[in-house]
Every structure is written in C-alpha cells, then in structure tokens.
Amino acid sequence: MAAPAEKMDTTEARIAALSMPQGGWSDAARADALARLRAMGLPNRRDEYWKFTRPDVLTQVETPSAAVLETSEAQVFSNIDALRIVFNDGVFDAEASDDLAMEHVTIDRLADTSADIHWAGSLYGQLEKSGQTPVARPLGALNTAFATDGILIHVTGKAPRPINLVYHHRAENSEAILHHVIKLDAGAELTVLETGPAAARFNKVMEVDVADTAAFHHVRAQGRDHERHAATHIFTRLGTESTFKSFTLTVNGRLTRNDCVIELTGDDAIAHVAGACVGDGDFHHDDTVFITHDALRCESRQVFKKVLRNGAVGVFQGKILVKAGAQKTDGYQISQSLLLDDDSQFLAKPELEIYADDVICSHGSTSGAIDEEALFYLRSRGVPTEIATDLLTLAFLAEAVNEIEDEGLRDALVEQLEGWLERHRG
Amino acid sequence: MLTIKDLHVKLEEEDKQILKGVDLTVEAGKVHAIMGPNGSGKSTLSYVLSGRDGYEVTGGEAHLGDDDLLELEPEERAAAGLFLAFQYPVEIPGVGNMTFLRTAVNAQRKARGEEEMSAAEFLKVVRARAKELKIDADMLKRPVNVGFSGGEKKRNEILQMAMLEPKMCILDETDSGLDVDAMKLVADGVNALRSEGRGFLVITHYQRLLDHIKPDVVHIMADGRIVKTGGPELALEVENNGYADILAEVA
C-alpha cells in the first residue's frame, strides 16, 4: 500500500540526507531495505503504533541537539569481566576496545566491507524484514539501509564471558545508526551487555538468530544523558528449546522508543523481555513489544515497570500473537507504572490475538501511587520520607529487575537506580 | 518522659471528635496500660502520638521529654525516641526486612548525630536480638511482614523495637491475633527491654496481656477520656466485671 504524499515527502527528505555505505556484501540487503522503507514511509502520528509517541524528532532531517552528559562515573558494567567494544557517536573505537577475539565466538565489524562474512550476508536485514509484518517498523528498515557500523557476532559454543557494547556520546549534534547481527549456532550461549548513551540521536537494530537449544541473554542500561533521542529495535527468531532473555534499564532521555519483535518458531522455546525505567520531567519512554508464538509449548514473558514524575510519560504497547497450531502456549504480560505525582502519565495498550484453543495467556496493567500505609510505617521507624519513597520505588521496580538472572549484573543495575533516585529526590 | 495534656483530636475528614481531653504522664522506667471498650479512642491516641495522617489536633499538647511531639514529622518523633508497635503491621513487598531494619537504625542514628552502624556490627546485633525472639534467618531475609503469620508480625515489631532502642514504646493491641505461646514470646521480648530509662504504654482490650507484661499503672479510657486510673488490680476488675460497672461508677 502506498503511503500518503506527506509521509512520502518526509521519508524522501530523510533518505536524501543520508548516505548508504556501498561496495560490500550487505549491498543487496540495504537496497532491499531502502525499497521497503520507500514503500511504507517513515512513521507519523496517524500510525497505529505511534499514537502515544511522537516520531517527528526521530524522522526529521535535522539531528536534534543533546547536551553531552558530564560525569566521571565508571560505566555500569565496568566491574563485570567482559569483552568490551566501544563506539563513540556510533564510530568504532579500536583503541578503547578489547581485542575482538574470544573462544567459540567470531566478531566482525559491519563497516569492514572487505571481509567475506557469509553467515552475516544471509542474515543481515532478514529478521528485520520478517519483523515488518504484520506491523511496519520503518525505522528498522531505515537502519538496515543506512547503518554505518555495527558488530557481527557468530557464536558456535558457550562464550566464556559477556560482550559489552559500550556507547559514548561525544558531540552535541551527533547521529548514530548502528546495526548488530548476532547468530547463535545450536547449543551456543552468549550474553551481550549494552551501556551508555550512544549519540544525540540514535537508531539501533539488533538482529539475533537463536538456533535450537541455544541461549541468548541481553542486559542493557540506556544512559542517563537527559536530552538524547533514541529508537532501538531487537528482532529475534528462536529455534527449538532455545532461550532469549532481554532486560533494559532506562534512566532519563527525552525520547526513547524500544521495539522488541520476537518470533518463537521452534517448539519449547522461551522468550523473556523485561524493562525498568525511571523518568523525571521531560521524559518519554516507549516499550513496544510484539511476540509471535508459532510453535508448540513456547513460553513468553513480558514484565515492564515504569516510575514517572514531574510530567514524565511512559508508554507500553505489548502484543502476544498466538498462531493457529501454537498449542500449549504460555504467555504472560504485565506492565505497571508508579506515578509519583498527578502530572505524569502512563499509557498502556496490551493486546492478545489468539488463534489456538489450548493456550494460557494472561495480561495485566496498573498505575498507582506510593503506598501511603507503607510510607507511614517506614517513617514511623525513623526513615525520612525521601529515603522511604526510594525504598518503595526500588521495591516497585524489583519485580522487573529480578528478571535478570545474573546477580552481578542485577546488583550493578540496582546501584544505578539507587544513584538516580538519590539525585532526583524531592 | 511522655506528657499528654488535655489532648483533643478530631478526624480530619469529618466533624467527629475522638479524643476529648486526654491527660496522661508516663514516667521513665514505668509501664502504663490503657484499657477500654471499642471506640474509646485508644488506638487514635497511639496514631496521633506517632504522627499518622487523618487526624487533627484541636487542643492540648504532647511532649516526649523536651520534644513537642505534635510539631514533629513521624520520622523525627521516631528519632526523638518514640516507637509505636502497630496493631496491624504493614506488609511491604520488595523491601527486605534486613534492609528495612538497617535503614531505620542508621536513619535514626544519623538524625541524632550519631555514627551509623557498620554492616558487620548491625548483622551481629540483629542476629542476637532475632534469636531471642525466635526469628529465623529466613524471616530476616523476606520482604517486610510479607507472608508472616500474625505472631511473626508481632515478633517482628518487637525486633524493631529492640533494634531501635526507643525511650518510649507504645504497644497498640499487640496481643490481638496472638495465641498464648506467641503472646508469651512477645511479652518476654518486651520485658527484656524494660529498663530504668524507658517508658511503656500498653494499649489492650484484655487483661491477659497484662499477666505477662506487668503494668505499674492502669488507665481506663472511655469516650475519648481517661476516666479512671489505678494499679494492676484495676485490670483484674475489668477482667472479672467488664467495663460496664466502671463506666457506670464514673458516669
């Protein structure tokens, strides 16, 4: 279906302002993505999945300016033993990165066009393309067409330590378009950590192909630079008895849209996606999840918690699609917000679409204030109001944070949260 | 220690006077008991003293030592040495009991300008106190009061009291929902905390708790006032004859 003229103008203007990397193995996939982008057009407010989030700043030609966060703090996962890969404003930093070598893992760069990376050639853009139906994700197609760099990870066994993608935002008007492709062979295991603000405007796609019995874990902390705008996509496909678990902590950011598109294609696969976010003031955070059950006895779980204050806005759009024949599906979805004042908003759209008759699917969504009884109890024991509020806020987020299996990673994120709460008291 | 003079309190939301001139002085080292029928204002007195929302003081005063309680926030009252053992302890999912206790102890120490307790020191003290109250390691790890039985909740209140070492302890119907063994355990915990520098105000319907926590003075409260004050024998009188006789006698 052709997009309306106004939409086409925005799309063409944006395309004209970008330049497509050429001359490598990804050329065909990029050309295909560009054609798809032209056909669907960039999102606007009239699109079903952009009603709660204004996409303008993500689609306009001009890169919005964002102040660079001044902090001397170490990055969240600095104490975790990991292979670190560093990007500055979306540009790979060889010097700051570790040697890209690890047992059972081959790591290449998308920007390295000379390499003949067969596995990536057949995967790049494919999961993104598959994730365009039934809901179009134009920013994902734009990314496949124009990504300037990214990491290609092929895992053949159990990776001995996590890979930590570290993003730094260095310039006020920087734009980064990164595309990572991760392929796990049967039985392989990998944990990917992502940290830091990437650029003033950031568009990122991560395609993850999880083969039978493989396990992928993903934990990310989206940085606390106040003014950034980001749109990220995860596209993943899960084989038989495989596992995918992703957790995101978001602190601050003017606009953050995280799409997660999961296809359970093999029987008995497990997909968990969770997120905790804290926003104060000029903050808009959108989690949009689409999980397709297309196999027997798969389990999916969505747990999202948002703490909002001073006019911050949280959005959750979560869908579970159970295809005919996907019997014994076990789908769970919960989204909750803690509104610390009357000015903040939580907008939730849970959706279930089920074509199999022997499934368990549940969903719930709530918005609430701080529990006054609990607050008084804490205060009556001598805990000052602001510390008591922090304790109750952390308790509220705990259900999401506890989705992270690794205790070390969980503690690192809780420490981040505690720091944020302390800085945002009152 | 605790001095209450002509305290008048109404509900904030409606025009209903609950306390109509309460006078009460609890000296350091003494245990006072307040007994009274339902609706006499006993629990309201404890809430107002601890600073709970929903009440409006329309007259009178309440001091703890030199501190004007009514001028202080709940957390300041706690730091000044006031402790209320709740009739219905609140469940707080997601907040570990240990985290809660340590935060409270250190917040009070900080407010008083004292040094905070180190993690190791705290752990040592809390384990010893918990053991005396038969509170196991699992109860310390669990979220505050979540899934605790009635008896466990009350023991947890006494543990908090033991850790916070308040000057003035108010026990609001601590015996409610307890079987005989649990009541004995709680009473032993309270008795262990009795000391020369500490006052107790025990609010109860029934005399039975006072078999275990022996009061020095017993007050009978009715319709928002203390109508009769006497020794431990007053509690026995209530036990044997009910409130009707006493109320008829003072009316």
Closest Cα in chain B to A370: B92
Q: Are B75 and A384 an interchain contact pair (Cβ–Cβ within 8 Å)?
A: yes
Q: Convert the pLDDT of each residue in B51-77 to its tens digit.
A: 999 999 999 999 999 999 999 999 999
Give me the count of residues in chain A: 426
Q: Which of A283, A288, A275 is nearest to A336 (CA)?
A: A275
Which residues have CB under 8 Å from B160's CB, separation 6+? A381, B83, B85, B101, B104
Return the SS3 of A371: coil
Across the range B223-250, mean pLDDT stands at 88
User: What is d(CA B95, CA A389) in angstroms, rounded to the nearest whole number?
Assistant: 11
B202, B34 in Cβ contact below 8 A?
yes
Residue B145: pLDDT band by 50, 70, 90 thresholds?
A: very high
* Nearest-neighbour CA in chain A from B182: distance (Å): 23
Query: What DSSP character marks residue B241?
Result: H
User: What is d(CA B236, CA B88) in angstroms, rounded to the nearest whole number?
Assistant: 26
What pTM does this model have? 0.91
Which residues have CB under 8 Å from B131's CB, separation 6+? none
Q: Convert the pLDDT of each residue in B80-104 to its tens digit.
A: 999 999 999 999 999 999 999 999 9
Q: Which of A138, A102, A141, A139 is nearest to A124 (CA)?
A: A141
Instruction: Give the one of B74, B93, B143 whose C-beta lies nearest to A376's C-beta.
Output: B74
- Amino acid at position A125, single letter: G
User: What is d(CA B163, CA B90) in angstroms, rounded to the nearest whole number?
Assistant: 18
User: What is d(CA A361, CA A330) in angstroms, rounded to the nearest whole number?
Assistant: 6
Which residues have CB under 8 Å from A41's CB, separation 6+? A3, A4, A7, A8, A10, A11, A138
- The complex scores an ipTM of 0.96
- Amino acid at position A96, single letter: A
Across the range B122-149, mean pLDDT stands at 91
pLDDT at A40 over 90: yes
User: What is d(CA A150, CA A110) in angstroms, rounded to the nearest whole number?
Assistant: 5
Residue B240: pLDDT band by 50, 70, 90 thresholds?
A: confident
- Amino acid at position A16, single letter: A
pLDDT at residue A2 in the model: 58
Q: Please state which of the ranges A41-55, A105-119, B31-45, B185-199 shows the lowest mean pLDDT.
A: A105-119
Residue B239: pLDDT band by 50, 70, 90 thresholds?
A: confident
Q: Convert the pLDDT of each residue in A119-141 to its tens digit.
A: 898 999 999 999 999 999 999 99
Chain A hits for B52, Cβ within 8 Å: 376, 380
Burial A329-353 (b: 16+ CB within 10 A, else e): bebbbbbbbbbbeeebbbbbbbeee
State percent of chain A over pLDDT 90: 90
For B214, phi and psi rounded to 5 degrees? Answer: -75, 120
Give residue A122's Cα distance to chain centre.
23
Enumerate chain B positions whose Cβ falls within 8 A of a Cβ in A. Answer: 50-53, 73-75, 77-79, 84, 86, 89-95, 99-100, 103-104, 107-108, 111, 143-144, 160, 164
Q: Convert the pLDDT of each residue in A314-347 to its tens digit.
A: 999 999 999 999 999 999 999 999 999 999 999 9
Structure-block tokens of residue A177: 């378009």
Chain B hits for A399, Cβ within 8 Å: 94
pLDDT at residue B76 in the model: 96
Q: Which of A206, A180, A191, A204 is nearest to A89 (CA)?
A: A204
Return the SS3 of B40: coil
Return the SS3 of B136: coil
Closest Cα in chain A to B159: A381
User: What is d(CA B183, CA B213) in angstroms, rounded to the nearest whole number?
Assistant: 10
Across the range A47-61, mean pLDDT stands at 96
Residue A426: pLDDT band by 50, 70, 90 thresholds?
A: low
Across the range A88-113, mean pLDDT stands at 95
Residue A24: pLDDT band by 50, 70, 90 thresholds?
A: confident
pLDDT at A72 over 80: no
* Nearest-neighbour CA in chain A from B79: distance (Å): 6
- Amino acid at position A397, single letter: L
A176, A232 in Cβ contact below 8 A?
no
Q: Are A395 and B74 an interchain contact pair (Cβ–Cβ within 8 Å)?
A: no
Q: Are A382 and B79 an interchain contact pair (Cβ–Cβ within 8 Å)?
A: yes
State percent of chain A over pLDDT 70: 99
Q: Convert the pLDDT of each residue in A345-393 to its tens digit.
A: 999 999 999 999 999 999 999 999 999 999 999 999 999 999 999 999 9
* Nearest-neighbour CA in chain A from B195: distance (Å): 21
What is the widest separation between alpha-carbon atoms in chain B?
Answer: 57
Closest Cα in chain B to A402: B94
Q: Convert the pLDDT of each residue in A286-320 to its tens digit.
A: 999 999 999 999 999 999 999 999 999 999 999 99
* Nearest-neighbour CA in chain A from B84: distance (Å): 7
pLDDT at A186 over 80: yes
Instruction: Give the one of B50, B52, B75 whose C-beta lies nearest to A383's C-beta.
Output: B75
Across the range B12-24, mean pLDDT stands at 93
C-alpha to C-alpha distances, A420 to A244, A249, A271, B108, nearest whole angstrom = 28, 12, 29, 23
Q: Are B104 and A383 an interchain contact pair (Cβ–Cβ within 8 Å)?
A: yes
pLDDT at residue A1 in the model: 52
pLDDT at B224 over 80: yes
Residue A374 forms contact with B (CB below 8 Å): yes
* Nearest-neighbour CA in chain B from A380: distance (Å): 5
Q: Are A384 and B164 an interchain contact pair (Cβ–Cβ within 8 Å)?
A: no
* Average model confidence (pLDDT) across chain B: 93
